[in-house]
Amino acid sequence: MLIFKGITKNYKEPVLGPIDIDIKSKSFVSIIGASGSGKSTFLRIASGLISQSSGSISYKDNIKPKMGFVFQDSTLLPWRNVLDNILLPLELTKKINPESLEKSHNWLERVGLKGKGMSFPGELSGGQKMRVSIARAMVQGGNFLLLDEPFSALDEVTRRRLEDDLLEIWETNNITVLFVTHSVTQAVYLSQRVVVLSSGPGMLLEDLAIEKNFKDGFEETPQFLSQVRHLTNILKEEGGEI
């Protein structure tokens, strides 16, 4: 469990908060909001990449979870092949061991890129690059995955496939996922809970538990559509560009 208390972030002016929110272990939480609502800033604070101006983050049993981060672009190193890209976190944290390569191969297979280990990022499609990026974020065996609008540049079909793959990874690995997106339908489709931030400075507008069943066709149910409509209306009332 992660507990964010009174989190704010100020640059020249306030961009975020104060925000109070709890993220339960093994939950899938999406954050949506208008442009400039501080969604990505919140994610970066959660990951420890930047520090909050005020407020505190506490962890269950005071142990900071091991985190993986997937950026909006795939952030692969173009001079390294796919396997070496996946191995990067282990290299940087000096945790390379005889099993590392096997772990990388396993993750490569899990994201559907078996046999692509020796390819270079320049030889992959946008969707494949994002899959490598997810494998890299997971290879350390982390239990908290943060994603910052990772599928926004992908076409509809690829995006849907990756969303389903992400759900499968979440379900089978017992990880916590914090997912930033500007797509209401994506947030409702993926998450157990959707947090809506107001336009700058981003504050909590809505914290909606998604009623869903994980069977196929959820996005065609009235339940899904009403929740999408509800969140869209909140964002519309708030104004600003999504």
Partner 1 sequence: MIRYLSYIAPLLTFVILLILWEFLVILNKIPLYILPAPSDIFSSLLVNYKDLFSSAFVTLRITIIAFAIASFLAISLAILFSQSKLIELSLYPIAVIFQVTPVVAIAPLILIWVGFDNAEYAILILATIVAFFPVLANTNLGIKSVNNNLHELFSLYGASRFQRLIKLQIPFALPFILTGMKTSIGLSLIGTVVAEFVAGSGTSTGLAWRIIEAGNRLDIAKLFAALILLVILGIFLFLLISYIEKIVLKKWHDNSIR
Contacts of residue 105, defined as CB under 8 A and 6 or more positions apart, other chains included, come to 83, 117
Residue 67 interacts with partner 1 (CB under 8 A): yes or no: yes
Binding residues for partner 1, how many (CB under 8 A)? 23
Contact 22, 13 (CB under 8 A): no
What are the angstrom distances between the C-alpha of 5 and each of 31, 32, 127, 148?
A: 17, 19, 36, 21
Q: Which of 77, 96, 209, 225 binds partner 1 (CB under 8 A)?
A: 77
- Closest-CA residue to 26 (of 170, 155, 128): 170
Among 5, 20, 71, 223, binds partner 1 (CB under 8 A): 71
Q: How far is CA 241 from the centre of its chain?
A: 21
Pick 78 or 222: Cβ nearer partner 1: 78
Identify the H or E element spanning 47.
helix 39-47
Residue 141 touching partner 1 (CB under 8 A): no
CB count within 10 Å of CB 242 equals 16
127 interacts with partner 1 by CB under 8 A: no
Q: Does 202 bind partner 1 (CB under 8 A)?
A: no
Nearer Cβ to partner 1 (108/208): 108
CB of 23 to partner 1, least distance (A): 18
**Does 89 contact partner 1 by CB under 8 A?**
yes
**CA 207, CA 103: separation in Å to the nearest integer?**
36
Residue 72 found at the interface with partner 1 (CB under 8 A): yes
Give whichever of 14 and 126 is closer to partner 1, judged by the CB atom: 126
Helix extents (H) in 54-145 = 82-92, 100-110, 126-138
Which residue among 99, 102, 123, 171 contacts partner 1 (CB under 8 A)?
A: 123
For residue 148, what is the enclosing H or E element? strand 144-148
Closest CB to partner 1 among residues 120, 218 = 120
- Write each residue from 205 to 234 as x if it is in contact with partner 1 (CB under 8 A), else as -, in one continuous string: ------------------------------
Q: How far is the CB of 78 from partner 1 (least distance, A)?
A: 5
The reply on whether position 122 binds partner 1 by CB under 8 A is yes
Q: Does 152 bind partner 1 (CB under 8 A)?
A: no
Contact 17, 72 (CB under 8 A): no
Helix axis angle for 100-110 and 82-92, nearest 10°, is: 130
Closest among 143, 195, 132 to 165, alpha carbons compared: 132
Contacts to partner 1 from residues 16-55, by CB under 8 A: 44, 47-49
Binding site for partner 1 (CB under 8 A): 44, 47-49, 67, 69, 71-73, 75, 77-79, 81, 88-89, 91-93, 120-123
